[in-house]
Structure 1
Amino acid sequence: MVFTDVEIERYARHLVLREVGGPGQQKLKAGSALIVGAGGLGSPAALYLAAAGLGTLILADPDEVDLSNLQRQVIYTEEDLGRAKPEAAADRLAALNPHIFVAGYNGAFTDDTADELVTGVDVVLDGTDDFATRFAVNAACVRMGKPLVSGAIGRWTGQAGVFAGRPCYRCLVPEIPPEAETCSVVGVVGALAGVIGSLMALEAIKLLTGAGEPLTGRLMIYDALAGQTRTVRVAADPECPVCGGAEA
């Protein structure tokens, strides 16, 4: 895969990285990702993956841009209010990097749409705040053998992890918590979305290029108030309804 002179200049800081270089940048250009949820986490993740030169980005979200989104969903402006998020985000990403392909799906991720959306991409990023959607995304990734980069935020705490086969996300969260909270209810500091969303993009880049050690089977938890992080290993649940019969 050949780079133009413009692309060589654009990705110069990647090309001089030993862990990326020309081969890694070629993998990014040939790679693809589905981002489920073009909100607080999907926004920075999409911006950084587009800037990194990921060849194909697909964004799925059923919502429209609302004024309250702009506190943390940095991909949008006031001019986007009322627009479908995937459409507005795709326009912004295409303007950021015209060398990539961006497509938007203005609909919910459900069992009916899962296979169509996940088919053909190399990695899936889930930045939604709805457990039913997270479960559907996880199940599709396990079923189709795609790595999943999952992120979540609330108040001042965020987390990100990578799931590939076993353990899967349902090993971490077997059932929907009875008192599940969303950012609209408990609040969230806007900059935290940038931290975790960027971490999700970083993990996707590592997966696609083979650089370093991704957070596969691990969860990084960030406490913004304390300025501390910790990483825990996720154990495979032999009774997991999604991956219990899969090979580790």
Structure 2
Amino acid sequence: MAIEQDNFQRYSRQIFMEEVGVEGQRKIMSTKVLVVGAGGLGSPIIQYLAAAGIGKLGIVDHDVVELHNLNRQVIHQEQDVGKPKVHSAARFVEAIHANLQYEVYSTRLEEELADSIFPLYDIIVDATDNFDTRYLINDSSVKWNKPLVYGSIQSFEGQLTVFNYQGSKNLRDLFPRSTDDSNLPTCDSLGVLGPLAGMIGNMMALQVLKLAIGLPVESNKLTLIDSLHWNFITVDY
């Protein structure tokens, strides 16, 4: 099936790639992705999935924009401080593509909500920084058999992987739940340079697009990035 002329022109630089083509773009445009978190990681993920023409974009976030978010959460602006992140995220998506389908959920992700919305999406993305939510996202992805693109950042370091894809392992296989993870470091305690969020978030968005197209995605491998010393390694798990 041909792609409309407007869409062909908009996405031509993707379509021209041998690995994508018209068929791959059609797959992107029929894929529904749920991004949990519209902060440091969620911002570039939302930005590039919307720009790539993803079929439907779901965004879950209960938080409001704060001034200290702006060094890395690039879809939000000064005028958004004090307002729900999903509102500025929605405005950003509309500015990129007025006809792009999206749904925002201005609430904390709980099990009941996960059970109601995870079945509606093809791919889940964990862009959160809360350990309780991470395990909920993981367990719900396993429950509903959804591939999960996972990433995290702090200071100069980041990591990403794809869980629960074609029988691959999940978060609990890699990081068994600690009895007390409340004291583990986060961006709030150690800080983070903004471009690192862009690096990891964009890599996560790329994995989402590869999943959507059906391109090879390695299983049971964790990519670790030390941007201070510019070390990139991948480890099996």
Q: TM-score range by the shorter chain?
A: over 0.9
5+ long unaligned stretches in structure 1: 235-248
Aligned pair partner of 1:194 in 190, 193, 198: 198
Structure 2 residue matching 1:98: 3-state secondary structure: coil
Residue of structure 2 in register with 1:242 after alignment = none
TM-superposed deviation, 1:178: 5.8
Residue of structure 2 in register with 1:238 after alignment = none
Alignment of 1:83-102 (within 5 A): 83-102=83-102
The answer on 1:54 being equivalent to 2:58 is no
TM-superposed deviation, 1:138: 0.2
TM-superposed deviation, 1:140: 0.4
Measure the CA separation in 2 of the matches of 1:99 and 1:18. Answer: 27
Residue of structure 1 in register with 2:208 after alignment = 204
Measure the CA separation in 2 of the matches of 1:158 and 1:136. Answer: 21
TM-superposed deviation, 1:118: 0.8
- Structure 2-normalised TM-score? 0.95
Measure the CA separation in 2 of the matches of 1:62 and 1:215. Answer: 32
The answer on 1:179 being equivalent to 2:188 is no
Q: Is the 8 A contact 1:53 1:99 kept in 2?
A: no
TM-superposed deviation, 1:216: 2.5
Q: How many residues align?
A: 233
TM-superposed deviation, 1:100: 1.5
Q: Which moved more, 1:1-10 or 1:113-122?
A: 1-10
5+ long unaligned stretches in structure 2: none
Q: Is the 8 A contact 1:55 1:99 kept in 2?
A: no
Alignment of 1:4-15 (within 5 A): 4-15=4-15
Measure the CA separation in 2 of the matches of 1:16 and 1:214. Answer: 21
1:45-81 CA-to-partner distances (Å, cap 9, x unmatched) read: 0100000010100000000111111010001111111
Alignment RMSD (CA, Å): 1.2
Measure the CA separation in 2 of the matches of 1:17 and 1:31. Answer: 19
TM-superposed deviation, 1:175: 1.4
Measure the CA separation in 2 of the matches of 1:224 and 1:52. Answer: 26
Q: Is the 8 A contact 1:203 1:215 kept in 2?
A: no
State percent identity of aligned pairs.
Answer: 39
Q: Measured at CA, do residues 178 and 83 of structure 1 come closer, stay the same or move farther in structure 2, by a change above 3 Å?
A: closer
> Which residue identity lines up with residue 167 of structure 1 in the other structure?
K
Measure the CA separation in 2 of the matches of 1:180 and 1:109. Answer: 21
Measure the CA separation in 1 of the matches of 2:96 and 2:16. Answer: 22
- Structure 1-normalised TM-score? 0.91
Structure 2 residue matching 1:119: 3-state secondary structure: helix
Q: Which moved more, 1:151-160 or 1:80-89?
A: 80-89
Q: Is the 8 A contact 1:14 1:21 kept in 2?
A: yes
Measure the CA separation in 2 of the matches of 1:54 and 1:169. Answer: 25
Structure 1 residue matching 2:120: 3-state secondary structure: coil
TM-superposed deviation, 1:27: 0.3
Q: Is the 8 A contact 1:33 1:121 kept in 2?
A: yes
Measure the CA separation in 1 of the matches of 2:211 and 2:27. Answer: 10
The answer on 1:220 being equivalent to 2:226 is no
> Which residue identity lines up with residue 126 of structure 1 in the other structure?
D
Residue of structure 1 in register with 2:162 after alignment = 162
Q: Which moved more, 1:4-13 or 1:133-142?
A: 4-13
> Which residue identity lines up with residue 197 of structure 2 in the other structure?
A
Measure the CA separation in 1 of the matches of 2:136 and 2:202. Answer: 23
1:191-231 CA-to-partner distances (Å, cap 9, x unmatched) read: 100000000000000001012x2143211111101111001
Q: Is the 8 A contact 1:56 1:102 kept in 2?
A: yes
> Which residue identity lines up with residue 183 of structure 2 in the other structure?
E
> Which residue identity lines up with residue 99 of structure 1 in the other structure?
N
TM-superposed deviation, 1:141: 0.4
> Which residue identity lines up with residue 192 of structure 1 in the other structure?
L
TM-superposed deviation, 1:161: 0.3
